[in-house]
Amino acid sequence: MFSVFVLVGNPLIVMAIMDYMGYRQRTGFMAGLTVAQISEFSIVFVAMGMSLGHVDNAVLSLITLVGLLTIAVSTYMILYSQPLYAAIEPWLSVFERKIPYRERQYESERTDHEAPEVIVYGLGRYGSRLMSRLEGHGVRALGVDFDPEVVRSLRRAGRAVEFGDAEDPEFPASLPLRRCRWVTSTIAQPDINAALIGALRRAGFRGDVAAVVHRPDEAEPLRRAGVTLLLTPFADAADFAADRLHAMLSDAEH
C-alpha cells in the first residue's frame, strides 16, 4: 500500500503544485511522473537513522522494498508517459487551470518571424543540432519546443523559436505554415507524430513531413500517417562515422 501511495500520491501532489503555479495539467502530470518513486538516497538516510538508533531494521527493509518497487514501476511509467496520460486524462480535469498563465506567458512572447522553410518540433540535442545545421546551409528554420527554459535560452541566442506543444491540436494554426515546405519532428513517440501530422493538415499545411524513428516497427505506421522522410539518428550517425573512418583509411593507404 505504501508503494501505491508513493506512485500515485507523489504525482498528484506535484500536479496540484504545478496547477497552483499556473501550468497545464499535462505539464504537471509529466513532471509528477519523475517523482513517482523514492530514490536510493532514502535508504542512505534510513541507514544513518539506524546507526543513531532512531529506526530499526524493519523500517530499513520496508524502505528498501518500496524503493525497488517504485524505481522499477516508475521507469515504465515515464517510458510510456504519453499513452498513460491519454488513458487517464479524463480523470485529471480537476488539475486543469482555466487560464494556465505560466505557459501563456511564453506563448504571449511569440514574435513575428520571417516565413520559415522548415519548422523543427523538439529542440533537444538532436533537434537543436538539426536546426543549427539547416541555418548554416542558409535554410530559414523555426524551432518549436515545450520546454520554456529551452525556448528562453535559444531566444536569448537570437534563434527563431516558439513555445508550443506537439499534442495541442490548435497550436499548428498559429504557425506560419503557408510558405513552409517541411515540418520535421524529432519527437520519438509515433502516436504524437501521427497526431501532429493530422493537426498540421487541418491547419492547412501542404508541405512534407519528416519524423524521427528509433525502431523498425515504427516506420510503417508513420508512412501511413503521411511522413515523407524517416530520420534514423542512430543509424545515420553510425553510417556517417563509418564513412569517415573508411575515407581516412583510404587516404592512409595512398
| Domains of the chain, start order | 2-95 (no CATH), 113-240 (3.40.50.720)
The predicted pLDDT at position 8 comes to 55
Q: What is the mean pLDDT of the chain?
A: 80
State which of 17-31, 73-87, 227-241 shows the largest mean pLDDT: 227-241
Is the pLDDT at 4 greater than 60? The verdict is no
167, 192 Cβ separation under 8 angstroms: yes
The predicted pLDDT at position 15 comes to 64
| Amino acid of residue 216 | P
Taking only the tens place, the pLDDT of each residue in 101-152 is 555 555 445 555 568 999 999 999 999 999 999 999 999 999 999 888 899 8
The predicted pLDDT at position 215 comes to 86
- The span from the CA of 143 to the CA of 163, in Å, is 9
The predicted pLDDT at position 154 comes to 92
- The span from the CA of 232 to the CA of 87, in Å, is 29
**C-alpha cell recorded at residue 196:** 501532429
At residue 38 the predicted structure's pLDDT band, cuts being 50, 70 and 90, is confident
| Amino acid of residue 67 | G
The predicted pLDDT at position 245 comes to 92
- The span from the CA of 83 to the CA of 98, in Å, is 24
The predicted pLDDT at position 211 comes to 94
> What value does the mean pLDDT take over residues 60-77?
78
- The span from the CA of 178 to the CA of 27, in Å, is 30
Is the pLDDT at 78 greater than 70? The verdict is yes
- The span from the CA of 203 to the CA of 197, in Å, is 10
* Site of grid cell 543509424: 235
Q: Which residues face 230 on adjacent strands?
A: 211
The predicted pLDDT at position 76 comes to 76
Taking only the tens place, the pLDDT of each residue in 204-234 is 999 999 999 988 888 898 999 899 999 999 8
Is the pLDDT at 41 greater than 70? The verdict is yes
Q: Which residues face 142 on adjacent strands?
A: 119
**C-alpha cell recorded at residue 45:** 538516510
159, 187 Cβ separation under 8 angstroms: no
pTM for the full predicted model: 0.62
Is the pLDDT at 99 greater than 60? The verdict is no
